[in-house]
Every structure is written in C-alpha cells, then in structure tokens.
Chain A
Amino acid sequence: MLEIQELNFHYQYRRIIRQLSFQVKPGEILHIVGPNGCGKTTLMSILAGLRREHSGTITLRQTEGHILADRRTQVEYLPAEANALFGKMDAMRNLQFWMELRDHKPSVDAMREELARWDLDHPLIRENFPVERFSTGMKRRLALARVNLAQVSCWLLDEPLYGLDSRGIATFQDMLEKHQAGGGMALIVSHDTAPLQKFAIQTLDMKQEPSR
C-alpha cells in the first residue's frame, strides 16, 4: 500500500504541491489528472526518489505493517519525455542492464518473451541493432517492457501511451490488467483517458490552486 500524507513541494517560490494526501491500495490504479503545470510530473519524480519533498510522509508497505526502508526497491518509474535507454546498445543489452541493477537474474527466454509481447522480438531488432535507431513508438514499447520486467509492486507511469499504436495500447492494457490482478499498484499520468476506461480506476484531481 502506498500512503502519502500532507505532501508539500515548492520549486523556488512556486508552490507546486500543497498538502496532498492520498493512498493507493494493492490492486488499485490511480489516474492522476489536472491542468498543465499542476505538478503531476513533479509528484511522480518525488515518488520515484528524484526530488525530495519539503514536508509530508511517503510510505510504501509491501505487506501489512512492513514498511520498506528504501521504496525504490518496489517502484519503477517511466518518465514522460524520456525512455532512459542507452542509445548505442541493443534492446536485449538495455533490458539486461536494468534487470541486473534490480538484482534479477535476467534469463534470455524471459526477456525474449517480453520483447515478443511488444513486437520487438525480431532477430534483426532485438540484437546488434542500436536502440537510437528505433522509432518513437518502438522506444516507448521497449521502456514499457522494462517496466514489466522490473517485477515491482508500484508503477509510476508518466504518459505511458505516448507514441504507441493501437496494438501497443492493447498490449499495455493487457500488461496493466495482469499487474492489477497480481495485487500491483499503478499511478498513471495520461491525457489519453480512453484506453484506461476499461479499468476500475481511482482518480486524483490535482487542480491548480492559486499560487501564493
């Protein structure tokens, strides 16, 4: 369970997040909405551990009562304008690296299975083909494959559907469904709401308050 209490964050003189509290239970999907510049991406980067909140508490429980000392072990973040892929490396090498950092033993079969899901398991695509030559949608699919392989309970997805075609969106829905069924949590920022309609989602509206 992810629990956020009275979170505050300001950048320079700009209050971006004020007294924000919410919680996400296992198996819940939280859709974060709000106008541009209301702090959706900032909230994501705080939860991912890139920025530090000015006050408030963030607790992630793996099981009831067991609070994680370092929530990053159970959080996978997908940023909005980037995929965090090494451009000169091929798809397999990229996946392997991020899995090893999580201390998962990367098996070639598991990675290929995941790539196949995203239509990237062609021998001319998965190996010896630098990711920098991928199209926008292919890069996004590879980044989403990494999210799924991370095997963590909490996903932070910032505009995950950016650049995906209808097949990619279907795969994403499928992946999210399995994650939810397995008791996983997901926080999603997306302006494209249609693909999320089929899920039972909670919505967090971050209306911009007059900043003072």
Chain B
Amino acid sequence: MRKSLMQYRALLVQSIHVEWANAERWLSPLLFAMTILILFAFAFGRVDEQFIPQLFIAATYLTAFFSLQIAFSRVLEPDMQDRVFDQMRSYPISPSAWFLSKFTLVLMLGVMILVPTLLLSHLFLNEGRNNLLSGSLFVIALIALLGLGSVGVLLSTMMLRSNAKQILYPLIYFPLTTPVLLAAVESSRAHLVEGASLENLLSSWLGLLVIFGIMYFTLSLLLFGELIKPD
C-alpha cells in the first residue's frame, strides 16, 4: 500500500514535470477552446435574453467536450518516446497506482481547460447581463470530468500502438461519452433555467452523471491493468 502510494506520487510528479516542460501540450487545447468560443459568440451575435442560459450551456459543454478530447488523446504521448512505456511495464509498478496517476493528471488538465472555458464562455456569450456562474455549475462540470477523464485515459492506453489514432480516438471517444455529455447538459440546464438545486437533481440527471462517473472509473481501472500485462 505504502509502496503503491510512493509510486503514485512519483508517476504523478513526473507527469506534471513533463507537462510543464512541454507547455504546448496543455496550451493548445486551451487555445482551441478559446477559438471555438469566439466563433460561437460571433456566429450567434445578440441573442434574446431568455435563450442566453441555454446557449451558454450548449456552447460551453461542446467546446469543453472537444478540447478535452484533444488533451486526453495525447496524455500518453510523452511515455511513447524512447520506449519509456515498456520500461515502466518492466518495473514492479502497481497498475492501479499507474492508472490513478494518469487519471489525476487528466483531471488536472481537465480543470485547467474547463475553468477558463466556463469563464470565457460566460464573458463572451452573456456579456455580463446576469450571473450564470455558480458553485453548483462547477460541481456538475467536475463530476462530468470524472467520467470523461477515465474513459480518456483508457482509450489512449488502447490506442498507444494503433497507427490510426488521430481518427480512431474521436470515433470511439465521442459515442462512448455521449451519455455523460447529455447528463451534464441536462443537469446544468435544470439548474440554470429551472433553478433546481443539486440535491433535487441528484435523483435525476445528476444521479445519472454520478453513476456514469463511477461506472467508467471502475471499468477503466480494471481494464487498464489488463492492458499493461505482458503480452
């Protein structure tokens, strides 16, 4: 247990160092998100006040969904150079510690993309008329991130050796995560438009979102161990 924790820490610290050394890796999804948001805001122009919350939700989640996919698909790229990944497989690393470190990294990257996207989207689309940002919205987005992140890590491990990953990753990632996106959008809509509280939402869409998070996390944790075993 203590050994796994040490390994988790070492793996996570190393991953953060690597990300920090390649600023391009986390900057480009962020810039991508900004571009999409600007396009959204420009295309819609002035919008009737009552539609703003819905537009805000749609634009934010779609943008986040796409830029997260870019970040997730590249999460194992540094490990592929110079056969680092295989070397790690030859070390006595606990698969759970390995998965959890990558998952934590993905969550950190996800928050780094999600928070600016929410703020910028609010700034661009809402034009400061009414305040739509709230702690509850961040909580919903974070729970969605849990489900998306675990699928993200698992898929990038699967496609490590595939020569078609640029096309394949979105092709599989988007269908698998559609339910998460739907549940997140519905929860946010109910919260912003109908003013439902998180406790009330827990029995409907938010509950589904939580179940997804748990399901994808468990599945990914179990299957990740299978993927790194000796062939």
A and B touch in the complex (CB under 8 A): yes
A83 to B83, CA, bound (A): 7
Residues of B128-146 whose CB lies within 8 A of A: none
Select which of A83, A89, A100 is within 8 A of B6 by beta carbon.
A100
Q: How many A-B residue pairs have CB under 8 A?
A: 78
Say whether A111 faces chain B, with CB atoms less than 8 Å apart. Answer: no
B97 and chain A: residue at smallest CB distance? A101
CB distance from B55 to the nearest CB of A (A): 40
A93 to B17, CA, bound (A): 9
Q: Is the CB of B90 within 8 A of A49?
A: yes
> Which of A23-31, A71-79, A167-175 touches B?
A71-79
Q: Which residues of A contact B10 (CB under 8 A)?
A: 97, 100-101
B93 and chain A: residue at smallest CB distance? A101
CB distance from B98 to the nearest CB of A (A): 10
The main secondary structure of chain A at its interface with chain B is: loop
A46 to B90, CA, bound (A): 10
Q: Which residues of A contact B86 (CB under 8 A)?
A: 50, 79, 82, 84
Binary interface encoding of chain B residues 4-15 relative to chain A, with 1 for a CB under 8 A from any of its CBs, else 0: 001101110110
Q: Which residues of B contact A89 (CB under 8 A)?
A: 14, 17-18, 21
Say whether B89 faces chain A, with CB atoms less than 8 Å apart. Answer: yes
* Residue among B78, B83, B90 with max Cβ neighbours from chain A (10 Å): B90
Q: Is the CB of B91 within 8 A of A72?
A: yes
Say whether A102 faces chain B, with CB atoms less than 8 Å apart. Answer: yes
Select which of A49, A73, A81, A84 is within 8 A of B230 by beta carbon.
A49
Say whether B175 faces chain A, with CB atoms less than 8 Å apart. Answer: no
Interface residue count on the A side (C-beta < 8 Å): 29
CB distance from B25 to the nearest CB of A (A): 10
Q: Which residues of A contact B13 (CB under 8 A)?
A: 97
Q: Which residues of A contact B18 (CB under 8 A)?
A: 86, 88-89
Interface residue count on the B side (C-beta < 8 Å): 28
A50 to B231, CA, bound (A): 7
Say whether A34 faces chain B, with CB atoms less than 8 Å apart. Answer: no
Binary interface encoding of chain A residues 40-61 relative to chain B, with 1 for a CB under 8 A from any of its CBs, else 0: 0000001011111000000000
Q: Which residues of A contact B93 (CB under 8 A)?
A: 101
A98 to B7, CA, bound (A): 10
Binary interface encoding of chain B residues 75-86 relative to chain A, with 1 for a CB under 8 A from any of its CBs, else 0: 000100111101
B3 and chain A: residue at smallest CB distance? A103
Say whether A64 faces chain B, with CB atoms less than 8 Å apart. Answer: no
A83 to B17, CA, bound (A): 19
Say whether B178 faces chain A, with CB atoms less than 8 Å apart. Answer: no
A101 and chain B: residue at smallest CB distance? B91
Residues of A93-137 whose CB lies within 8 A of B: 93, 97-98, 100-103, 130
CB distance from A69 to the nearest CB of B (A): 10
A89 to B19, CA, bound (A): 10
A77 to B89, CA, bound (A): 10
13 contacts between A and B (CB under 8 A): A50-B89, A52-B230, A77-B90, A82-B86, A82-B87, A86-B81, A87-B81, A88-B21, A100-B7, A101-B11, A101-B88, A103-B7, A130-B21
**Which residue numbers of A lie inside 8 Å of B, CB to CB?**
46, 48-52, 70, 72-73, 75, 77, 79, 81-89, 93, 97-98, 100-103, 130
Having A48-B90, A50-B231, A51-B230, one finds 13 other A-B pairs with CB under 8 Å, namely A50-B86, A50-B89, A52-B231, A73-B92, A82-B87, A84-B84, A87-B81, A87-B82, A88-B21, A89-B21, A100-B7, A100-B9, A102-B91
**Which residue numbers of B lie inside 8 Å of A, CB to CB?**
3, 6-7, 9-11, 13-14, 17-18, 21-22, 78, 81-84, 86-93, 229-231
